[in-house]
């Protein structure tokens, strides 16, 4: 099956610094990827849709200047949490459909971000 790799799996950073999370499709091309945030004991909340070669589409209430998304190639999308604060601490997960026009999602392993 399709594999989505996410890195790093865990990161601890100081308040005010920026953190970059990578999401790679290993055996398929992904023109679209999705970024989710999950707080403890809560659901996955869609943050944004990452589009290869164009701007990301952000969900309502998500600050695009805070969460920078870049989808520079057909296999890589990055999420940068800028000027991170303790309230940004969360589990971030990416996903990608294995082909154009398909709505099955394959998920990365997630990144646990802890901001001190």
Partner 1 sequence: GENVEQHPSTLSVQEGDSAVIKCTYSDSASNYFPWYKQELGKRPQLIIDIRSNVGEKKDQRIAVTLNKTAKHFSLHITETQPEDSAVYFCAASPVSAGGFKTIFGAGTRLFVKA
DSSP alpha helix (H) spans, the chain: none
Let me know the angle formed at the C-alpha of 45 by 47 and 20, rounded to the nearest 5 degrees: 45
CB of 69 to partner 1, least distance (A): 13
User: Which residues from 39-68 bind partner 1, rule CB under 8 A?
Assistant: 41-46, 49, 51, 57, 60
Asked if residue 19 lies in contact with residue 86, where contact means CB atoms within 8 angstroms, the answer is no
User: Which residues from 69-108 bind partner 1, rule CB under 8 A?
Assistant: 91, 93, 95, 97, 102-105, 107-108
* Closer residue to partner 1, CB minimum distance, 14 or 41: 41
* Closer residue to partner 1, CB minimum distance, 14 or 61: 61
User: Which residues from 13-32 bind partner 1, rule CB under 8 A?
Assistant: 32
If phi over 0 gives left and psi between -120 and 50 gives alpha, with beta otherwise, what is residue 16?
left
């Amino acid at each position: 099956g399709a594999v989505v790799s996410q890195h790093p799996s865990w990161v601890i950073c100081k308040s005010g610094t920026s953190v970059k999370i990578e999401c790679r499709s290993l055996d398929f091309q992904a023109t679209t990827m999705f970024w989710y945030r999950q707080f403890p004991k809560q659901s996955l909340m869609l943050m944004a849709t990452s589009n290869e070669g164009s701007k990301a589409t952000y969900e309502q209430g998500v600050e695009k200047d805070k969460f920078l998304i870049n989808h520079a190639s057909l296999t890589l999308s990055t999420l940068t949490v800028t000027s991170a604060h303790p309230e940004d601490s969360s589990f971030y997960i990416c996903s990608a459909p294995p082909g154009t026009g398909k709505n099955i999602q394959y998920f990365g392993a997630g990144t646990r971000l802890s901001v001190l």
